Structure 1
Amino acid sequence: MRALLPIIRLLLTAAPWAMARGAILSVVVLLMGAALLGLSGWFITATGIAGLAGIGIAFDVFRPSAGVRFLALGRTAARYGERVLTHDATLRALAALRVNLLRRQARLGARDLTNLRSEAVLTRIVSDVDALDGVVLRLLLPGLAAIVTHGLVFLALGWLAGWPIAWAILGGYGPLATLIFWRLARRSIRPSDAVEAQDQKLRRGVIDMIRNRQSLILGATLGKREAALMALNSDARKAARELDLADRNAGAALSVLVAAVTGLALLAGGWLVARGFESPAVGAIGVFVALALAETLLQLRRGFSDYGRMVGAARRIGAQAKPRATISDRPQADLMSSPILAIEKPGLTLKPGDAIALTGPSGSGKTSLLMQIAGLADSDGISILGRAPDHWPEAALREIVAMVPQRSALIAGTIRENLSLAVNAGDDAMWRALNAVALDDVIRQRGGLDARLNEAGAGLSGGQARRLTLARAILKSPRLLLLDEPTEGLDADTANRVLAGIREALPETAILAALHRGADHSVFDMRMSIVL
């Protein structure tokens, strides 16, 4: 339950008035249901007794029947309003939860954000947010409405029908229903986690099998992969059956409880009637009210059945990223006098203005080394200005190091907006950066800095998109620039112009570039090869 408390606070504060209106209507619906059944029971019993006594013609049937119609219609209207308001409040609360989650993720370091990019993680986050809609709709509001309704019905029954009946109903439903729901919640946690985990594995497995179906067919391993997926499906079904069994057992226990409490109310009413404290019609009210109050419990069954899934989702959503280690109090002069980059293996040191070409066959680890230097992976044996990348605060590290990966990271928007992601630069600076990567003429032909790109930078060729990300890195003026295949997809003349332009635009920047071709360019002081 502790994991749900921050989520509940966020959901409640997102739309407090909408939540309050929905909660009030939830109570009104339950109270009207109890009053409707109680009045109907009294009316039926009273008219039957009047008929047996031969005074049926003198019995006033109009006011009770009007009350029954009013409660029936009022309950229907209140139920409609309750559904509209509670769902509206829940959607507002989930929107606030998503915004809060995105804001919190935006404050994470680059390494943590990189880990979030996998489709499995994104799918799990979406599934977790969807699971939390039940916190309000199936757990919080029904639970509060049930407590308030039982309290008000207890007071009303004590006043109208006698305290023995009121205590029989409250004493029967209160502790026993709490015990049943507590046991259901406890038993749902483990199978709910298992169902979620197996579903995620199964989903990833199916996607991977469809994506790699050709290689699986050619390698004659499609049957083996299918068998593995069937085993995952079997495990998921087993956990789902365990969860369903707990839910059905709780449902059976609630049915027995309703019957038992109804019987207690009947006994209490009969005791009062036998001693002349109440009339038979009034004594029968407790029986019908006990049946009506079953609605307050049955709607909570689904919420507590999903309790384990909600708790698991809340733990994952509410988990805070581990804080990065901060830089020590080493004197600033010592930091600035250290090499910009030092790598123990393969023994590499870069100072201001150095440029080194990193070569090697595909898979030799060039990209992995750049990721480590950028602080996006474990970086043992690497130091930037005398400190390991993960010992720098995120913002400070990004001021020093800029990395341009193979995949161009562009957004739907104007050229100016894409360049402004790095730094808030003026138009003149942007044009100089575009000129450095031989892209200025292309951008002018497309309409200048206000030319729009589609999602992920669609509208530019692969080489043009790569050069636009290089221009963005130039605008940042980092002390260390990491380039992963910066000339891939460019013809030889354009590649030479781009490398020369980067060096001219950033004369004091240390450059480390992973290359398959162009490593012999004059801008590089040396060439280092990584061997498998």
Structure 2
Amino acid sequence: MQKKKAAKQTGRAKTPEAIFLNQLAESQSARYRAAKGIGSLFVVALVVQAWAFAHVFAELALHQSFSMLFLFLGLSALWLRAFLSFLRERVCTSASRHIRYDLRKKLLSHLTKLGPARSRIDEDAALSTRVYEQVDALDDFFSRYKPQVFMVVLIPCAILLSVAPISWIALGVFITTAPLVIVFMIFVGHKAAQANRRQFNVLAMLSNQFMDLSVGLAELKRLGKTQQAKSRLSDSSGEYQRTTMNVLYLAFLSTATLELFASLSIAMIALYLGLGLLESLPWQVGESPVPLAQAMFLLLLAPEFYLPLRQLGNDYHAKQKAEAATTDLMAIINTEIAIVRSSNLKEENTSRDNALICFENLSWQESGRQRLAAITGSIYEGERVWLSGESGIGKSSLLYLLLGFDAAYQGQLSVKGRHLSELLTCPQTLSKWRRSLAWLPQTPEWVNGSIRRNLLLGITPPTELAIEDALLKSQCDEFIKPLPDGLDTALTEIGTGLSGGQMQRLSIARALLSGAEVWLLDEPCSGLDQETAQSVLATLEQASKGKTVLVVSHDTHPIYWADKHWSLTQGGLYEEDKQAIA
């Protein structure tokens, strides 16, 4: 039954974007069914209101009096329509909010699982635009367009059934003019979809430029290239302005045209009914085809007949905008995470002795490119290893594999006696392994907020004593205590106000507070001068005692306190003499 239902929906949805949007809406099917029920009651109230007020106006015109019963009935229907419209809007808004919340949660979860592989999709600034701006662009589709599709069928059909017994000519006018509104709505809607796609692309490019500018502003100033960057940003913002105005132009053009068609159609109905009441119709002179009460009823229903069509025409832009946004969102969801090779799971455990991390002939190729040459080695619990090598040799790729973001490697990689590919097959074990890791990248990442918030982000809030101890071990207390607000000092994404060494020390403090037993460090001294780098390494020596540490670094900043020094080359992994480190 479910397969038939899915096939039926797939048949109606002609594009992958439409299929995806329908699948998202399925999660809130109960709310949409409730909205349909409310809409049905709304239509009944609409017809009753027009019928009651038509009799009130006719009696006033003919007898200068009216029935209080009809007036009460009309006012009650009017009040009920307003209430049902409000209720239906609340239900649809709630459905849209839940859909967007679940979708954003799914996107963030998928990007988290992708890890560094998300760069295959786009830069982080553009991805953040997709997750927030483009997910919110679906709001009008789920809260307005989707429920309006049901109403645009229900209301005109109910009105046509009410009109048919009264006047076949009015019925013919309704049936003839309604398709014109729909055809033009679709024609302009496709143009709007193209304009929306261009707008989203320009917005993503603008976000990337803002991020690049904020990160490299100091370097641009040093090179004297700020004017060129400003000119480039100005050109991009001007292009975004032009694409936005184009979208608005099409929206206003569509609205004006739909209003014109609807107004002309209502005028035709009014002209026919007016001439009929004056008994001046060319084919029916001296006779009124429609009595006054019924004529008023038709005249009150005419605007209501075209109103849902006009609203759908306006909301059709929301559909095209949603499909344009969905294209980029599907690109995220359709990006594969890690490919687990079944052969890994059948091979015997190759971990030597009681090594915490063991790799045997481990190599990695991605898209035909050698990311990591075959290496063999073991890291034992509490051991601190320094891995050096030239750029592009595969040092960061090894950390990438240890973080569990890909299993399409060759050879064997085991953690705590279990194949890493085994961990990837079970979200619980993979999550447990990642919780035992502290990841310190080349450039620490922060969020807008206080220093305290950044230190505690994603971990169980520790005691104040534990925070003070972590700050002391990482030597962060030296620069945090003099700050006027201390730990509550504001921090931006790029760590404004802090030096490179201070940000690295904050990363060390965050690793201590996480309670992780395994530390993976990727170029912790990258971009630091010799004196600052040595100071950070001295801090690491004290803070990482008792931890299992793998530090990836160039030979420019030797790590004398490491228990092992591995040198990675195209020929493999070689262990240097410990005396050579000292």
Normalised by the length of structure 1, the TM-score is 0.70
Indicate conservation of the 8 Å contact 2:50/2:301, yes or no: yes
d(CA) in 1 for partners of 2:423 and 2:110? 15
Residue number in structure 1 paired with 2:375:
349
Indicate conservation of the 8 Å contact 1:188/1:306, yes or no: no
Question: What do the CA deviations read for 1:420-463 (whole angstroms, capped 9, x no partner)?
Answer: 9xxxxxxxxxx9xx99xx979x9xxxxxxxxxx9999x9x9954
Which amino acid counterpart does residue 524 of structure 1 have in structure 2? K
d(CA) in 1 for partners of 2:392 and 2:506? 23
Indicate conservation of the 8 Å contact 1:358/1:366, yes or no: no
Indicate conservation of the 8 Å contact 1:193/1:308, yes or no: no
Deviation, structure 1 residue 482: 6.7
Bigger Cα displacement from structure 2, 287-296 vs 72-81: 72-81
Matches within 5 A, 1:216-365: 216=220, 219-266=223-270, 270=276, 278-318=290-330, 319-327=333-341, 329=343, 332-333=347-348, 339-341=360-362, 349-352=375-378, 357-359=386-388, 365=391
Which amino acid counterpart does residue 154 of structure 2 have in structure 1? V
Deviation, structure 1 residue 129: 1.4
Residue number in structure 1 paired with 2:580:
none
d(CA) in 1 for partners of 2:259 and 2:437? 65
Three-state SS of the structure 2 residue aligned to 1:339 is: strand
Indicate conservation of the 8 Å contact 1:463/1:489, yes or no: no
Residue in structure 1 matching 2:508, options 446, 462, 466: 466
d(CA) in 2 for partners of 1:109 and 1:76? 48
Three-state SS of the structure 2 residue aligned to 1:519 is: coil
Residue number in structure 2 paired with 1:149:
155
Residue number in structure 2 paired with 1:448:
none
Deviation, structure 1 residue 127: 0.7
Residue number in structure 1 paired with 2:424:
395
Is 2:191 the partner of 1:187? yes
Residue number in structure 2 paired with 1:5:
19
Residue number in structure 2 paired with 1:158:
164
Residue in structure 1 matching 2:412, options 385, 391, 408: 385
| Structure 2 unaligned regions, length at least 5 | 1-12, 353-358, 365-369, 415-419, 447-451, 477-486, 496-501, 526-531, 571-582
d(CA) in 1 for partners of 2:219 and 2:141? 44
Residue number in structure 2 paired with 1:445:
none
Residue in structure 2 matching 1:172, options 171, 177, 181: 177
d(CA) in 2 for partners of 1:227 and 1:494? 43
Task: Say which structure is richer in strand.
Answer: 2
Residue number in structure 2 paired with 1:79:
85
d(CA) in 2 for partners of 1:242 and 1:42? 47
Which amino acid counterpart does residue 310 of structure 2 have in structure 1? L
d(CA) in 2 for partners of 1:405 and 1:26? 55
Residue number in structure 1 paired with 2:75:
69
Three-state SS of the structure 2 residue aligned to 1:64 is: helix
Deviation, structure 1 residue 5: 3.2
d(CA) in 2 for partners of 1:404 and 1:207? 22
Normalised by the length of structure 2, the TM-score is 0.65
Deviation, structure 1 residue 190: 0.8
Question: What do the CA deviations read for 1:398-431 (whole angstroms, capped 9, x no partner)?
Answer: 779978433678996999x9599xxxxxxxxxx9
Deviation, structure 1 residue 143: 1.9
Deviation, structure 1 residue 242: 3.1
Residue number in structure 1 paired with 2:559:
519
Q: C-alpha root-mean-square deviation of aligned residues, in Å?
A: 5.1
Residue number in structure 2 paired with 1:449:
none
Deviation, structure 1 residue 139: 0.4
d(CA) in 2 for partners of 1:483 and 1:222? 30
Deviation, structure 1 residue 240: 2.9
Indicate conservation of the 8 Å contact 1:356/1:527, yes or no: no
Bigger Cα displacement from structure 2, 82-91 vs 347-356: 347-356
Deviation, structure 1 residue 312: 2.0
Question: What do the CA deviations read for 1:189-227 (whole angstroms, capped 9, x no partner)?
Answer: 110011122233334434554665565456444443333
Deviation, structure 1 residue 141: 1.0
Question: What do the CA deviations read for 1:84-116 (whole angstroms, capped 9, x no partner)?
Answer: 33323332333333344445445x343335768
Three-state SS of the structure 2 residue aligned to 1:306 is: helix
The count of residues paired between Structure 1 and Structure 2 equals 481
Bigger Cα displacement from structure 2, 21-30 vs 237-246: 21-30
Flag the structure with more relative contact order, 1 or 2, with Cα contacts below 8 A and sequence separation at least 6: 1
CA 1:386–1:169: 2 relative to 1, 3 Å? same
d(CA) in 1 for partners of 2:410 and 2:192? 48
Residue in structure 1 matching 2:116, options 111, 119, 123: 111
Deviation, structure 1 residue 292: 2.4
Residue number in structure 1 paired with 2:132:
126
Is 2:440 the partner of 1:405? yes
Deviation, structure 1 residue 311: 0.4
Three-state SS of the structure 1 residue aligned to 2:564 is: coil
